[in-house]
Structure 1
Amino acid sequence: MIELKNIGVQFSGRDILKDVSVMFNPGEIIGLVAPNGTGKSTLMNVIMNYINPNNGKVILNHELEYTNKKNEVKIHQLVSMMPDQSDLYNQISGKEHLKIYSSMWNSNRKLIESTIKELGMKSYIKKNTGTYSLGMRQRLCFAMQIVSDTQVMLMDEVMNGLDPTHVELISQILVKKKSEGKTVIVASHLLENLEKYADRIFFMKNGELILVNAVSPGFDEREITTVRVTDLTDKIKEKFSKEFPERNVRTLSNGVTLIDVREYDSGRLGKVVEFLKENQIKEFSIGKEALTDLYSMYYQER
């Protein structure tokens, strides 16, 4: 368990983080979503003590804080951050990198071979990393954190440069880490992917951490709240509003139109579907708002 208590970070008189208080639990995947420059990386750097906050504190397992060097060493045995590709040494092999990380965190050496196999790295893991493609380097960075086997794992844009197959593979490994009781904090721009596996998702804006469920109450539930329509013309929208005047209809900057059907029974919902079909609208889905919709609403329309 890791707790942030009243964390504040200011640069040049600007609040990057403003009185952030939150607790991240064991067996939980946390998603952080925000445009670049809004504080995601700063938050992770504060957790690692790479940046000292102007106020507030980080508390691990109810007792450990960054009050001295001895405590910092203890915390860093339990908390790790996925390395960046620029941290790799081009003149040594991927496997040597994994051995270094396993030694640094004194983890089970068997994790090295199992991680290589799980990520499909066997064909190139003994080659110098200077020969790796961007996707191979990204997988190695992820593998390095996995073999560290820490209680808390921080990952900033873990899916960068990966093809859909490896995005899905890494997603499955993250879920596995969650089942092992790890706390996994992931900053990502791949919203559809993040929505599939994250237990809680936070937006960041104006230095604050906002739970997505506070932006859209009931977002984490599975009930039908929305009919999501692609490319609904103004003419059809006007026609729809006359037939269903009580409905809230909202078109986002990404071109998607959301029709609020929270209180509709199956009969009334069926009439909405019938209307769309009669007007030759084929691209629509029934369910809830997607994370991409909330992102558009929160960042591009506020």
Structure 2
Amino acid sequence: MIDIQNITVQFGTRTVLNDIEIKFNQGEMIGLVAPNGTGKSTLMNVIMNYLQPTKGKVLFNGNLSYSSKSNEVKIHQFVSMMPDQSDLYNHLSGRTHLKMYAAMWKSDPNLIDETIEALNMGHYVNKKTGTYSLGMRQRLCFAMQIVANTDIMMMDEVMNGLDPNNVEIISKILLKKKAEGKMIIIASHLLDNLEKYADRIFLFNEGKLVNTNEIIEGFSQAKIKTIRVKNMDESVKALLKTKYPLIKHQTLVTEMTLLHLPSSEQQLLSDLTAFLVENNVMDFAFGKVTLNDLYALYYHEVV
């Protein structure tokens, strides 16, 4: 477990993290979402003790904190951060990197071949990393953290530069690790994937963590509470407001209009379908507010 207690980080007069207080639990996948420069990486660096907070502390498993160098060594035996591509040694093979990580964390050596097979790395893992493509290097960085096999795993843009097939492969491995009781914290701009797998998703606002369920009530529940309409004409919006005053609507920077329904009763859904068709609105879909919608709504920009 990670217990973040009143963490504040200031750079000069700028407050990046503002008195954050929250707990993350084992067996949980946490998603962190925000534009660049708003605190995602800063929070991860504080958890890893790469950055000293201006105020507050981080506790692990109830009482272990970065109060001494010996404690930091203990914590980093069960907490890891996915390496960056710049951390790779171009003159060494991928397999050598995996052996180093397994040795540093004293994990099961059998994980090396298991991970190579799971990530389809067998055809290049024995070559020097200097010959790898960006996607191959990214898979290696992910594999290094997997073979470390720590109880808490943190990843910043783990899916960066990967094709859809490899995104799906990595997602399945993460779900397996979560089922083993690992805590996984992911900062990502791949919102569809994050929404699909994360247990809790947090946005950043003025240095605070905001749970998506606090922005849209019941966001994580798969209930039909929204109609998503593309390029809805202003005259239709006005008519909708008159006929259905309880239905709130918001138009995003993507030109998508969200109609928030007071309920998901079948009669209301039928009436609204008829209303939209009668007013020549054909490009719409029933569902829930997506994480992409929420991002555009909250930050007024598109990922």
Whether 1:67 aligns to 2:61 is no
> Is the CA contact 1:81–1:154 (under 8 Å) kept in the aligned structure 2?
yes
Whether 1:271 aligns to 2:271 is yes
| 1:128 maps to amino acid | K
Aligned to 1:83: 83
Aligned to 1:126: 126
Whether 1:135 aligns to 2:138 is no
Q: Which runs of 4+ in 1 moved over 6 A?
A: none
Aligned to 1:97: 97
> Is the CA contact 1:226–1:262 (under 8 Å) kept in the aligned structure 2?
no
Query: For the residues of structure 1 that align with 2:117 and 2:94, how far apart are their CA atoms?
Result: 13
Deviation of the 1:264 alpha carbon: 4.9
Of residues 268-277 and 128-137 in structure 1, the stretch that sits farther from structure 2 once superposed is 268-277
| 2:227 maps to amino acid | V
Query: For the residues of structure 2 that align with 1:282 and 1:94, how far apart are their CA atoms?
Result: 51
> Is the CA contact 1:219–1:289 (under 8 Å) kept in the aligned structure 2?
yes
Query: For the residues of structure 2 that align with 1:282 and 1:190, how far apart are their CA atoms?
Result: 28
Of residues 200-209 and 268-277 in structure 1, the stretch that sits farther from structure 2 once superposed is 268-277
Of residues 24-33 and 245-254 in structure 1, the stretch that sits farther from structure 2 once superposed is 245-254
> Is the CA contact 2:29–2:199 (under 8 Å) kept in the aligned structure 1?
yes
| 2:178 maps to amino acid | K
Deviation of the 1:251 alpha carbon: 0.9
Q: Secondary structure at the match of 2:186?
A: strand
Q: Secondary structure at the match of 1:36?
A: coil
| 1:142 maps to amino acid | F
Q: Secondary structure at the match of 1:65?
A: coil
Query: For the residues of structure 2 that align with 1:225 and 1:235, how far apart are their CA atoms?
Result: 23
Query: For the residues of structure 2 that align with 1:258 and 1:132, how far apart are their CA atoms?
Result: 43
| 1:21 maps to amino acid | E
Query: For the residues of structure 2 that align with 1:75 and 1:104, how far apart are their CA atoms?
Result: 14
Aligned to 1:285: 285
Identical aligned residues as a percent: 56
Deviation of the 1:255 alpha carbon: 1.1
CA change 1:264–1:199 in 2 (3 A) is closer
Instruction: Tell me the TM-score normalised to structure 2 length.
Output: 0.96
> Is the CA contact 2:224–2:264 (under 8 Å) kept in the aligned structure 1?
no
Query: For the residues of structure 1 that align with 2:129 and 2:40, how far apart are their CA atoms?
Result: 28
Query: For the residues of structure 2 that align with 1:281 and 1:125, how far apart are their CA atoms?
Result: 53
Whether 1:205 aligns to 2:205 is yes
Query: For the residues of structure 2 that align with 1:246 and 1:49, how far apart are their CA atoms?
Result: 49
Deviations 1:169-196 (A, max 9, x none): 1111111111000000000001111000
Aligned to 2:146: 146
Query: For the residues of structure 2 that align with 1:91 and 1:283, how far apart are their CA atoms?
Result: 53
Query: For the residues of structure 1 that align with 2:114 and 2:108, how far apart are their CA atoms?
Result: 11
Instruction: Tell me the TM-score normalised to structure 1 length.
Output: 0.96
> Is the CA contact 2:59–2:65 (under 8 Å) kept in the aligned structure 1?
yes
Q: Secondary structure at the match of 1:18?
A: strand
Q: Which runs of 5+ in 1 are unaligned?
A: none
Q: CA RMSD in A?
A: 1.3
| 2:21 maps to amino acid | S
Aligned to 1:53: 53
Aligned to 2:172: 172
Q: Which runs of 5+ in 2 are unaligned?
A: none
Query: For the residues of structure 1 that align with 2:264 and 2:59, how far apart are their CA atoms?
Result: 45
Q: Secondary structure at the match of 2:15?
A: strand
Query: For the residues of structure 2 that align with 1:140 and 1:191, how far apart are their CA atoms?
Result: 22
Query: For the residues of structure 1 that align with 2:210 and 2:236, how far apart are their CA atoms?
Result: 35
Deviation of the 1:73 alpha carbon: 0.3
